[in-house]
Amino acid sequence: MDKLLEIRLASTQELDPKKTFECGQCFRWEDDGSGVYRGVVRGHAAQVETQGDDVILRGGGDAALWHDYFDLSNNYSAANTQFCARGGYLADCTSAGAGIRILRQERWETLCSFIISQCNNIPRIKKIILTLCRLYGEPISDGLFAFPSAERIASLSEAKLEPLRSGYRAAYILSAAREVSSGSVDLDALSACGRDEAVAKLLEMSGVGKKVANCVALYGLNHMSGFPIDTWMKRALRENFPPNFDPDTLGEFAGLAQQYIFYYARSGGARNERI
């Protein structure tokens, strides 16, 4: 591991590593068993752990990379206050989820990962992504691999993806890789434009529906109002929000609220407390 860098990322109040890495938004950070998380971001390996009230990162890359990745230029406290002010269920979700950061993940990796995620469980999603990286990603060190580029995957045949055991998603992965590497889908442009335009463009891709498109917008394209609705969110919304609730009423940080709700629902939070 290119362990050149050692920085304090934030306070544990601002950044809870466990919640952030295990709330379902990313698939390449693992607890080594002692609360130290190891992961690879944009080709740089790192480990993150808490020391007292501080969260420390050691690894490659530079401070600017990690500052960006952990979205540290955004202060979440105003949004948290606003969510708590609504009271009831959303306040509970916010209290439970405080410390989660919305990670600004690499665009192509996010698109590819959430295509894989559809109708799949998290352990298997992680396994498929790990195999993909091991087979076709650039080696870093210590048996770690970068996420393979869209160009690399676009050069493969469908048969080369068979070892992933990703099932029917393989065709979607290849199709997306070709569209991204050819430039027919420009993820940088979709990050620079508005959320609705980005989601609309993503929806044109085969294997990308509303849920995946919103995941990509939120986690990969820096559209904080992205609001993916999966089976957990559907149930949480149905049981705790008014019918026809419009997530956009939660404001520009709606995606953060979504993450709190998702985390709370998955961790067995109470239900039927209408806001």
Residues known to be catalytic:
211
**How many chain residues interact with DNA (CB under 7 A)?**
37
> Among 231, 252, 267, 270, which residue interacts with DNA (rule: CB under 7 A)?
231
CB burial readout 198-207, b (16+ within 10 A) else e:
bbebbeebeb
Q: Measure the CA–CA gap between 46 and 58, rounded to whole angstroms.
A: 6
> Among 63, 122, 192, 270, which residue interacts with DNA (rule: CB under 7 A)?
122
> Among 103, 132, 215, 257, which residue interacts with DNA (rule: CB under 7 A)?
215
H-run or E-run covering 174: helix 169-182
Nearer to DNA, 114 or 147 (CB): 114
Examine residue 262 and tell whether it contacts DNA (CB under 7 A). yes
Q: How far is CA 26 from CA 162, 171, 227, 250, in A?
A: 23, 22, 16, 23
> Among 41, 212, 254, 257, which residue interacts with DNA (rule: CB under 7 A)?
212
> What is the rounded (10 degree) CA torsion for 86, 256, 37, 64?
-130
Examine residue 124 and tell whether it contacts DNA (CB under 7 A). yes
- Residues 21-40 touching DNA, rule: CB under 7 A, are 23-25
> Among 118, 131, 181, 191, which residue interacts with DNA (rule: CB under 7 A)?
118
Tell me how far, at minimum, the Cβ of 27 lies from DNA, in Å. 9
Residues 6+ apart with CB under 8 A from 185: 176, 179, 201, 202, 205
Examine residue 191 and tell whether it contacts DNA (CB under 7 A). no
Considering only 8-16, 34-42, 129-137, 255-263, which stretch makes contact with DNA by CB under 7 A?
255-263
User: How crowded is residue 95: how many other Cβ atoms within 10 Å of its Cβ?
Assistant: 13
Tell me how far, at minimum, the Cβ of 164 lies from DNA, in Å. 8
Nearer to DNA, 43 or 105 (CB): 105
User: How crowded is residue 231: how many other Cβ atoms within 10 Å of its Cβ?
Assistant: 10
Examine residue 99 and tell whether it contacts DNA (CB under 7 A). no
Nearer to DNA, 46 or 176 (CB): 176
Q: Measure the CA–CA gap between 230 and 221, rounded to whole angstroms.
A: 19
- Residues 127-186 touching DNA, rule: CB under 7 A, are 162, 165-168, 171
Tell me how far, at minimum, the Cβ of 47 lies from DNA, in Å. 22
Sign of the Cα torsion 228, 232, 234, 239 reads negative
* 222 DSSP assignment: -
Examine residue 110 and tell whether it contacts DNA (CB under 7 A). no
What residues make contact with DNA under the rule CB under 7 A?
23-25, 117-125, 162, 165-168, 171, 205-213, 215, 228-233, 258-259, 262
